[in-house]
Amino acid sequence: MADSAFKDMTRHSRLKVGTFLVEFNTPGIGQILKASGCDFAFVDMEHSGFTVGDVKQILRYMQAADLPVIVRPPSKEYHHAARVLDIGASAVMFPMIGSPEEVKRLLNFTKYPPKGGRGVALQIAHDRYAPGPVMKKLSDANLNTAFCALIETQEGVENAAAIAAMKDVDLIWIGHFDLSADMGIAGQFDHPKFKAAIRKVVAACKKHDKSLGRLVPEAKVGSALFKRGFDFICHSGDVWMLQTTMQAGADKLRATCKGGRKRKGR
């Protein structure tokens, strides 16, 4: 069954720092992130090449490092939700959440009867293959599985307060690039319309005492957002951190290592 580690993090407003995985699936990734100070990881299936099998492996790597994980399935279809949950995701973030009615439908996928319609398969990856009382397993999974609502459309912003008011929504997340694109101002995060949308979502989370998250390119941006009420700060991602660090190192080496001579005979 899903453990309560991620869900517990949504129950307080202290800073939680994570990062985004869209490219690298290696046995050491959980230990690397844990040793680097990560509190959680965000594993993406919407924009990556990760298969269900890949994510199943990643979840075991994270489990070994005791690092909670959000998984974003590639769609809002039941078969994607069910498989992600059955391989052990304890926090699920569905893309493009627009309305309370949609949230209700998706929550039904994540909860076992009598709270929902999630199909039952026990003693597999999600409950660590362990035997145990059936009703307790279902009850614990319903209690511990976290639901993350990804707001990345104007419809989602307009319904943010109603979504945040829902009991089983644990975390609101703003997909800033998609939201700006849906508003017709792609990438213009200083645009008055975009800023107004963010204020509306922040106000909804504060009113209903819900956690709020976003991916940020650098610590400075994350610090400013934390002061506004964001407590889940996803610092960059695997591809971009490698590119940024490699580029900075290469540029510094080229700037400071001048000279050299042609070797004889060559």
Given 12, 47, 80, 176, which residue is catalytic?
A: 47
Cβ proximity of 212 and 157 under 8 Å: no
Which two structure tokens, joined as six digits, stand for 28? Answer: 């050491």
- 47 among known catalytic residues: yes
Residue 32 has a CB neighbour count (10 Å cut-off) of 15
DSSP-derived pairing of the beta strands 171-174 and 211-216 = parallel
Calculate the alpha carbon distances from 263 to 223, 247, 254, 260, 266 in Å: 51, 28, 20, 9, 6
In degrees to the nearest 10, what's the CA dihedral of 83, 87, 91, 96? Answer: -30
Closest by CA position to 213, among listed 2, 8, 18: 18
48, amino acid identity = S
Return the HEC string of 122-172: CCCHHHCCCCCCHHHHHHHHHHHCEEEEEECCHHHHHCHHHHHCCCCCCEE
Which two structure tokens, joined as six digits, stand for 218? Answer: 């650098």
Assign residue 250 a region (left: φ > 0; alpha: ψ between -120 and 50; beta: otherwise): alpha
List active site positions: 47
